[in-house]
Amino acid sequence: IIMGMGLPTVAAYIIGAILYVPAMESLGVEPLQAHFFVMYFCILSMVTPPVSLASFAAAGVAKTDAMKTSVVAFGMCAVAFLIPFAFLADKALLFQGSVMQIAIAGVGLLFSTVIWAMGITGFIVRDLNRTERALLLACGAAAMVTQTGSLIWSASIAASVLYVVLHVVFARRNNHHGHGAARGAR
């Protein structure tokens, strides 16, 4: 992220490919995974404060405060900062593996990003407390950055599904019995 601050994406990637990809390869990371990791973070440098060029350009067009726009963009992209680690954890996300492995990894990543987004926004059917948010963030992150099918991945997915289902069932039950109405979309 820091290497790309203030640089266009292509220039940041060239620097990253020269400096960081060989170091990652020496740690045992496959070349394709290393390049995707570096490229993804070079793209994310465009929305990383304090020098987030895309956010500053958007703020200029919208005639809003550049730093506030940058911070909001950073928050909206929070889940994106974990996805490069998912590339390192599972080659199937880069279409290396069987069709079934690729499908399971893709669905797992999609599911974990939705769980992470629920934790970030703090809302499913009602507002979530800090503990509930932390649970969803931890499960989403754990599922995202571990090997698909591993014990941690499976436990994170199972815990997330169980929590969301129970949360929705209890919220509907409380709403049905008149103990509180679920809020609509924010």
Query: How confident is the model over 123-146, as pLDDT tens digits?
Result: 888 899 999 999 999 999 999 999
pLDDT at residue 4, rounded to an integer:
64
Omega of the bond prior to 50 within 30 degrees of 0, cis?
A: yes
Q: Which two tokens stand for residue 16?
A: 């990253």
pTM > 0.85: no
Q: What is the pLDDT at residue 186?
A: 47
pLDDT under 50 in the chain at which residues? 180-182, 185-186
- Maximum Cα–Cα distance across the chain: 62
Instruction: Determine the pLDDT at residue 1.
Output: 59
